[in-house]
Structure 1
Amino acid sequence: MTIQTKFHGELDIDTIAQWTFPKGLPGLEDEKQFVLLPIEENDSFQVMQSITSSNVALIVSNPYTIVNDYSFEIDEPTLELLEIKSQEDLMILAVMTLKQPFELSTINLQAPLVFNIKNHKAKQMILNDANFNLRQPIGQLVEKGAR
């Protein structure tokens, strides 16, 4: 299957793992199928590209490589929806907003992306935790030495 992507042009995704968001993403409920694509010369970030909409592409990163003390509990409805049986089934990513200069970039710690790597189901889980920001500036984390 060939798709048009926002950052990679036309791409054959037959050999790339596809991720299903059964309920879509908040604000993008119709977007249910995505692929994770590398960003050339950058191992820290990936593009989460919609299979059906070329203009829906989010920059994502592992929040644990950016924030040392990030932790949260996955709620029961998410565990059930994604059929998560153990911690080994999990991959957690967070949506980034990249800006120039890089220190002005932000990471969304309030709504992590939870992936089950065994069945390729995923969900963006909204946390109700005042300790985490929707737009946590990366520069503040670097200044505090939390990176």
Structure 2
Amino acid sequence: MNVQTKFHGEIELMANEIYRFESGLPGFLEEKQFCLLTLDDTPFFVLQSTKTKEVAFIVTNPFDVFRDYEVKLTDEVLELLQIETEQDVLTYAILTISDPFNETTANLQAPVIINGSKKLGKQIIMNGSDYRTKHRLIETPTEQGAK
């Protein structure tokens, strides 16, 4: 399958590279299929819609940046994504890229959860947590001192 992408031009995808989001993503309910593309020499990926070129989100593994980050999956999510083991789970945070880059934020309140083996995904919203939609990816020296 050939797909037009926002950052990589036209690419060819195999069926096993496509993740199905049965409910779409909040604000993009019609977008049901995505792929994950690497961004050269960075810890970031592009969650790219296979349907709409412009629908592409920069994501990263939040555990690489926020060491104390915790995600608790409900039984409903485990069932929906057919998650059987912890090894099935891939977790990504959607980034809001800013200029300058040190003001870039990560949405830790609504991570994207993917079952890597079943190729199923969902963005969940962790209501009642202390996580926000805008956590700075890079802390300033003032923020570091406040801990």
Instruction: Name the CA distance, whole Å, in 1 between partners of 2:106 and 2:23.
Output: 22
Report the alpha carbon displacement of residue 118 of structure 1 after superposing the two structures with TM.
1.2
Q: 1:106 to 1:81 in 2, by over 3 A?
A: same
Distance change (3 Å), C-alpha of 1:82 and 1:16: closer
Query: For residues 101-137 of structure 1, what are the alpha-carbon distances to aligned partners after superposition, in whole Å with 9 as ceiling and x for unaligned?
Result: 2210000000001111110101000001341010112
State the partner residue of 1:10. 10
Task: State the Cα distance separating 1:141 from its structure 2 match.
Answer: 7.3
Match of 1:19, as an amino acid? Y
Give the CA deviation at 1:27.
Answer: 1.1
Q: Which amino acid aligns with 2:96?
A: T
TM-score (norm 1): 0.91
- Identity among equivalent positions (%) equals 38
Q: Distance in 1 between matches of 2:46 and 2:4?
A: 13
Which amino acid is the alignment partner of residue 62 of structure 1?
N
Matched-pair contact (CA < 8 Å) for 1:67–1:141: no
The whole-number CA distance in structure 1 between the counterparts of 2:71 and 2:16 is 29
Q: 1:89, CA displacement in angstroms?
A: 1.0
Deviation at 1:139, TM superposition (A): 3.0
Query: How far apart in 2 are the matches of 1:94 and 1:6?
Result: 19
Q: Is the 8 A contact 1:110 1:129 kept in 2?
A: no
Rounded Cα–Cα distance in structure 2 between residues aligned with 1:100 and 1:20: 32
Shift in CA distance, 141/63, structure 1 to aligned 2, threshold 3 Å: farther
Residues 25, 123 of structure 1: 8 Å contact kept: yes
Give 3-state SS (helix, strand or coil) of 1:77's partner: helix
- CA RMSD of superposed structures (Å): 1.7
Aligned partner letter, 2:36 = L
Paired positions, count: 144
Q: Any idea what the Cα deviations from partners look like across 1:76-121, whole Å, max 9, x if unmatched?
A: 1111100111111111111011112221000000000111111010
Runs of 4+ aligned residues of structure 1 deviating over 4 Å after TM superposition are: none
Q: TM-score, normalised by structure 2?
A: 0.91
- SS of the residue 2:138 aligns to: helix
Structure 2, unaligned runs of 5 or more: none
Correspondence for 2:88: 89
Q: How does 1:51-130 map to 2 (within 5 A)?
A: 51-130=50-129
* d(CA) in 1 for partners of 2:140, 2:16: 33
Whole-angstrom CA distance in 2 between matches of 1:139 and 1:118: 32
Moved more, 126-135 or 46-55: 126-135
- Residue identity in the other structure for 2:132: N
Superimposed CA distance per residue, residues 46-69 of structure 1 (whole angstroms, 9 cap, x where no aligned partner): 001000000000000000011010
